[in-house]
Amino acid sequence: MTSSTGPRVAMLSVHTSPLDQPGTGDAGGMNVYVTELAQALARRGAQVEIFTRATSSAQPREVELAPGVLVRHVPAGPFEGLDKNDLPGQLCAFAAGALRTEASRAPGWYDVVHSHYWLSGEVGWLVADRWDVPLVHTMHTMARVKNAALAPGDRPEPQGRVIGEEQVVAEADALVASTQAEAEDLVALYHADPSTVHVVAPGVDLGTFAPAPEGTRRADLRAALGVSDAEAGLVVFAGRVQPLKGPDVLVRALGVMRAAGQPVPTLVVLGGSSGRRSAVRELEALAHTEGVAEHVVVRPPADRAGLADWFRAADLVAVPSHNESFGLVAAEAQACGTPVVAAAVGGLRHVVADGASGVLVPDHDPVTWAAELGALLDDDVRRARLAAGARAASERFSWDDAAEQVLKVYDLAREERTRRRG
């Protein structure tokens, strides 16, 4: 690999751009992951080019995200109107765009391909083979894992995706898993070679996501955000409004609390529709049905600084997802010193220290969630204790550490590719 300045990395993020706002459409934690990891790699001398699909004719072909990080918009299919499920038919066009970019460079320009999500992995398989460089892949989510824990009303992932994921796992020279549990799923469900699976925990921007300055009143934080009337407590959900993320569980839990005559907290949902354009309207309709419409506030996704403000203003941050490979929202909320109530699934079991930085809920029953939320909101002492442990729980995660480990994975992938060719 390029020794003087670090490797030249072709990073692939086909279905969602790192420039997109997380929390709506297909943009989420993966966008943050790609953005933060690329910048941390660049700080270590790597040159990172992120290839993503162009979704507007007005987008420039190249955008400098940060020093050493370039985003390339690759035309592949119609700019607008394509659902993520339509993208497999555009992978050939996307791969052609990536290959043309390399063809305009000196031979051997890229040192490694790092693909994110299975769609990118399919392209990565082709271009890494063409360029004769290692393919490193990060799954982010897996169809077999998701299908085993579907939310009510959610559609299972198609068999075509399962086959694609199997192909990418078989062809990758190295696989990056966010947790040990994800690494075990790769081996057990996709028959990955254990020697090619490497656990690298994502990081947290501990500068942006930090507790409020000492002496700051939560009431002032809420007033600045326009929710000063949250007398029974403020619970924040941040993420895409879709069955996988489970915001309906929280709305139903509020309905349980209302029916029992308990104080009902204010639930702020920071996110937009994903999967179905009507998802937000359906959530608001559910709030009416449960009789808690006046307690549910839906706001657009917030930028990183704004998200940190919401976390600091909240009594609790709730993450009722049916599956998470890591759970970046939980880590970022804890970094702000806010306890997290999360479903005991996937990476959330690793991010949230049960009883120390938050609470892990064993199921998605609204009755259970109502009991957990009510008990925590009623117990100021317990919440304060969890808040004290929240920041420490997130200080385990560093993007700089993640970048250091990923650079080592790139070297191991090169060795693995050499071994396979031999």
- pLDDT, tens digit (0-9, with 9 covering 90-100), for 33-70: 999 999 999 999 999 999 999 988 888 999 999 999 99
Q: Per the annotation, where are the binding residues for UDP-N-acetyl-alpha-D-glucosamine?
A: 21-22, 29, 240, 245, 324, 332
Lowest-pLDDT range of 94-108, 133-147, 247-261: 94-108
Q: Which residues pair with 51 in a beta bridge?
A: 12, 72
Provide the terminal-to-terminal Cα distance of the chain, rounded to the nearest Å.
19
What pLDDT is stored for residue 104 in this prediction? 82
- One-letter amino acid at 60 equals P
DSSP per-residue codes, 180-194: HHHHHHHHHHH---G
Residues 226 and 243 sit within 8 Å (Cβ to Cβ): no
Instruction: State pLDDT tens for residues 389-419.
Output: 999 999 999 999 999 999 999 999 999 999 9
Amino acid at 296: V
Q: In this predicted structure, what is the pLDDT of residue 5?
A: 75
Q: Which two tokens stand for residue 325?
A: 């490979």
Q: Is the pLDDT of residue 128 over 90?
A: yes
Which residues are CB-contacts of 378 (< 8 A; sequence separation ≥ 6)? none
pLDDT at site 80: 78
Mark the binding-site residues for 1D-myo-inositol 3-phosphate, compressed into ranges.
Answer: 15, 26-31, 84, 117, 141, 161
How high is the pLDDT of residue 357?
96
pLDDT tens across 63-121, in order? 999 999 999 999 998 887 777 788 898 999 999 999 998 888 877 899 999 999 999 99
Mean of all residue pLDDT scores within the chain: 93
Burial of 154 (0-12, 13-18, 19+ CB in 10 A): middle
pLDDT at 163: 97
* Averaged pLDDT, 360-380: 97
Residue whose tokens read 């085993």: 148
Going along 254-376, which residue ranges are E strands? 266-270, 296-299, 316-319, 340-343, 358-361
Give the model's pLDDT for residue 2: 42
What is the identity of the amino acid at 203? G
pLDDT of res. 266 = 96
Query: Could you give the angle at the alpha carbon of 192 between the alpha carbons of 186 and 196, nearest 5°?
Result: 105
Q: What are the Cα distances from residue 318, in Å, to 41, 133, 262, 360?
A: 31, 42, 19, 10
- Contact call for residues 33 and 202 (beta carbons, < 8 A): yes
Known binding positions for Mg(2+): 311-312, 314, 338
Q: Cα(316)–Cα(326) distance, rounded to whole angstroms?
A: 19
Confidence band (pLDDT; 50, 70, 90) for 25? low
Residue 205 pLDDT > 60, yes or no? yes
**Domains annotated on the chain, with CATH:** 8-203+398-421 (3.40.50.2000), 218-394 (3.40.50.2000)
**What pLDDT score was predicted for residue 29?**
80
215 pLDDT tier (thresholds 50, 70, 90): confident
CB-neighbour burial class of residue 1 (10 A; exposed 0-12, middle 13-18, buried 19+): middle
Whether 296 has a pLDDT exceeding 70, the answer reads yes
* pLDDT single digits (tens) 4-13: 478 999 999 9
Point out the annotated binding site. Answer: 15, 21-22, 26-31, 84, 117, 141, 161, 240, 245, 311-312, 314, 324, 332, 338
